[in-house]
Structure 1
Amino acid sequence: MAKTKEATVEERLRALYDLQLIDSRIDEIRNVRGELPLEVSDLEDEVAGLKTRLEKLEDSLSSVDADITSKKNLIEEAKALIKKYSEQQKNVRNNREFNSLTKEVEFQELEIELAEKHIREFKAQIDQKKDVIAKTKEHNKQRETHLKHKKSELDAILKETEKEEKALIEKADDYKKKIEARLVKAYNRIRVNVKNGLAVVPIERGASGGSYFTIPPQVQMEIAARKKIITDEHSGRILVDAALADEQKIKMEKLFSKLS
């Protein structure tokens, strides 16, 4: 079986820089979405919370209505008892029975007064709850409108970029297969730890891209020779020469234009 030819350092550098260009493009697409997915998620949670609150308010309103009905029934029962005791007073045989029935009537009258007081309080609660419900409904309506707008905005961006992002992720996976695992691991580690996710950068004006630290001429010559993978001693980024970077940018721009 023929032995697979091992990639040269230059081929690995080109593959690494291509991977960086692809990942940077994916980062750009995701930056366009920005905080929108999080905003939509937060709004969905807020709307769901408002709906739950409305349900609880409506339930409590029904509960107060039931309490009013109960008190009204109690009043009717008390009135019936007063009528009954008043009728019985007409047929009493002594003062003790009359006084006992009078106390029963007075007790039922107090029950009616207390029930009427509770009904007034319950009605005040209903007015207050209805006011809160109206305000909550209005707030919920506003948040639903805002959510609809944000969802539409996010959907438009997703529709525009989802296909390209998916294709780019697949391309990134393809490029990772061309690079040995330890280099991919190092690349991913650097990407996480540096600004803008730039793990592979070209030399610009004698310094690594995005850095103000000058690279010694001897090191620049070694980088241009493409014989070994060299990292910036200050940022840890993998360095490539400007000519290689320009060649790969032209190549990848053609790829991006096909995918977009």
Structure 2
Amino acid sequence: MAKKTEVTVEEKLRTLYDLQLIDSRIDEIRNVRGELPLEVEDLEDEVEGLKTRLEKHNGNLVEITEEISNKKNLIEEAKSLIKKYGDQQKNVRNNREFNSLTKEVEFQELEIELAEKHIKEFKVQIEQKKEVIAQTKERLSERENHLKHKKGELDDILKETEKEEKALIDKSLEYENLIEARLLSAYKRIRANVKNGLAIVPIERGASGGSFFTIPPQVQMEIASRKKIITDEHSGRILVDPALAEEEKQRMEDMFAAI
């Protein structure tokens, strides 16, 4: 039975740095999209909200129109009753009956007056509602055009980057499978907690990449020896020497170009 080959620290560092370069490339692609997906989502929600509002306003308009129709019918009924009571007054036998019919007529006249008042109020509401509907339609049209434009932008970016992003995600998973669980977990934890998602950085001008804290020469020598995994005491990032970083960058750039 063949003995399992021990993975050296240098090989672990190279694989980790390759994974970082792949994940950073994915980050760059997603940064190109920027806030566009969220903008599109917000615009879609706004358009749906405006459509719902428009539907509600139109429903209210129908209800108010029906109320006007009901009040007009009430007026016609009241006029009919007034005529009826007027005819009956011509044939009354005593003052009590006459007075009773007079009260009925007065009541119907008040009903007509109140109904006409309501009709006027409803007509004012209709004009106000029509104005709101017109404004909502205008806003909806403007937002729909803006959404169409933003969706077009997003679709163009997705078409340009979708294939590359999918290939890189597959590569990222492939490289993750090459890294021991403990080390991969540390990488992901650091990546989630540091600026720009850079969990592994090379030494630049005697300091951790992106940092101003100088790394002691002895530690730099240890990093260059590639015998153990060393982290920056200030940022917590895993450190690699510039030569290893440059070699892997060139190798990964060739791989990116082939995707």
Instruction: Say yes or no: TM over 0.5.
Output: yes
TM-score, normalization: structure 1? 0.98
Paired residue type of 1:3? K
Alignment partner, residue 232 of structure 2: 232
- Point out 4+ residue stretches in structure 1 off by more than 6 angstroms: none
Alignment partner, residue 8 of structure 1: 8
Alignment partner, residue 152 of structure 2: 152
1:104-152 residue CA offsets vs partner (Å, 9 max, x unmatched):
1111111111100000000100110010010011011111111111111
Alignment partner, residue 44 of structure 1: 44
Partner of 2:99, secondary structure, is helix
Alignment partner, residue 125 of structure 1: 125
Gaps of 5+ in 2: none
Query: Are 2:221 and 1:221 aligned?
Result: yes
Alignment partner, residue 208 of structure 2: 208
Alignment partner, residue 189 of structure 1: 189
How is 1:11-160 mapped onto 2 (pairs within 5 angstroms)? 11-160=11-160
Post-superposition offset of 1:63: 0.7
Paired residue type of 1:170? D
How many percent of aligned residue pairs carry the same amino acid? 78
C-alpha RMSD of the superposition: 0.9
Query: Are 2:172 and 1:172 aligned?
Result: yes
Paired residue type of 1:20? Q
1:147-188 residue CA offsets vs partner (Å, 9 max, x unmatched):
111111111111111111111011011111111110100000
1:25-60 residue CA offsets vs partner (Å, 9 max, x unmatched):
011011111111111111111111111111111111
Q: Distance in 2 between matches of 1:89 and 1:56?
A: 49
Partner of 2:177, secondary structure, is helix
1:37-93 residue CA offsets vs partner (Å, 9 max, x unmatched):
111111111111111111111111111111111101100100110111111111111
Q: Distance in 2 between matches of 1:25 and 1:189?
A: 19
Paired residue type of 1:23? D
Paired residue type of 1:255? M
How is 1:244-255 mapped onto 2 (pairs within 5 angstroms)? 244-255=244-255
Post-superposition offset of 1:4: 2.5
Q: Distance in 1 between matches of 2:252 and 2:173?
A: 15
Paired residue type of 2:8? T
Give the total of aligned pairs.
259
Paired residue type of 1:32? V
Q: Distance in 2 between matches of 1:136 and 1:3?
A: 74
Q: Distance in 1 between matches of 2:35 and 2:6?
A: 43
Partner of 1:178, secondary structure, is coil
Partner of 1:119, secondary structure, is helix
Q: Distance in 1 between matches of 2:169 and 2:257?
A: 15
Partner of 1:202, secondary structure, is strand
Post-superposition offset of 1:192: 0.8
Q: Distance in 2 between matches of 1:121 and 1:155?
A: 50
Q: Distance in 1 between matches of 2:169 and 2:196?
A: 18
TM-score, normalization: structure 2? 0.98
Paired residue type of 2:69? T
Q: Distance in 1 between matches of 2:198 and 2:246?
A: 16
Post-superposition offset of 1:3: 3.1
Post-superposition offset of 1:100: 1.4
